[in-house]
A = this chain, B = another copy of it.
């Protein structure tokens, strides 16, 4: 057993205790399968209320890659691909799940201030794509005489927070949404870490904004207090007559669907989802201040629960004796960028222990 404290990711622990408690309470209850149970219904109602979209369709899936793959297959026609940042999860880290489903990921470079030569210090914009770039891509596509021999842009995918912990502003989301609607292309927001974005001190985006600007998004549970689970929301309704066989066909229909419903019902009771998301942000802020005080160079000035710092390899070696961290990249031969992630359960003590070693 590895007993070092871990900041390697935000999915190293189980679930919020209230979830385990309720799982225990209903354990021998008999529920209908495949998401047709009462807990799924209740959770969906609470989520629709929180999102301010009573017309929404809500589904519960198990994990992020599965959700991205299944949603995109619902959105895209066979000859369409999805526009995404080159650093987006669907483009880079899903082992080709989108292509396995027959669709191309049409990548746009995400914005960086990196000079590419010295030790990189990225801007707050890394991981994001711009409305103007999306528009230019789509216009460029339709202006190309040859575009019927190319992959049609059929959806736009963004992550909020991004894979680098950065956030879109409300104005940016609004602009992207406007481009999408201009070209009648749905906007899909990957919210695997949505709670940590919404509870950031540096955001003007609310859950209702997410629902307003997107055509589909999901509220991540796996990384935010649940054992597993992602709540998929189609604010204006799901665009296919038969979503269930599509979900089933992807091997994504959980038999005991109430396990998902119950978890999200718990997270959306008494604002638990927001409360525990806030905890991760507070601990990340503590950590960030302590790091800056100790003179560490932030790789990204992240407003969410993932903090990235640049360490000398010698120091990192001794840190590794006490702390598990996320390897991010090697900007040169003697430094390493690492990720330190807080989560819904991180305590002040955890931060203090980490800072002792750093």
| B-contact bits for A1-38, CB 8 A (1 contact / 0 none) | 11001100101111101001001101111111100001
Residues of A in contact (CB 8 Å), total: 78
**Contact residues in B for A65 (Cβ distance below 8 Å):** 248, 251, 253
Can you list 14 A-B pairs with a CB-CB distance of less than 8 A?
A6-B30, A14-B28, A24-B24, A28-B345, A30-B324, A62-B254, A63-B251, A73-B78, A95-B149, A95-B248, A96-B245, A99-B99, A222-B255, A251-B251
A152 at the interface (CB under 8 A from B): yes
Candidates B24, B96, B249, B345; contact of A249 at CB < 8 Å? B96
8 Å CB contact of A148 from B5, B104, B248, B256: B248
Inter-subunit contact B13/A63 (CB<8 Å): no
1/0 per position for A67-104, CB-CB distance to B under 8 A?
A: 11110010001110100000000001111110110111
> Contact between B20 and A249 (Cβ–Cβ < 8 Å)?
no
Query: In the bound complex, what is the Cα–Cα distance between A92 and B248 (angstroms)?
Result: 12
Q: Are B255 and A149 in contact (CB under 8 A)?
A: no
Q: Is A355 an interface residue (CB 8 A)?
A: no
How many copies of this chain are found per oligomer? Answer: 4
For the complex, what is the distance from the CA of A149 to the CA of B33, rounded to whole Å? 12
The reply to whether the CB of A240 lies closer than 8 angstroms to some CB of chain B is: yes
Residue in chain B with minimal CB distance to A38: B1
Confirm or deny: A242 has a beta carbon within 8 angstroms of a beta carbon on chain B.
yes
Residue contact A248 to B29, C-beta cutoff 8 Å: no
For A136, list chain B residues within 8 Å (CB): none
Say which residue of B12, B20, B345 sits within 8 Å of A33 (CB atoms).
Answer: B12
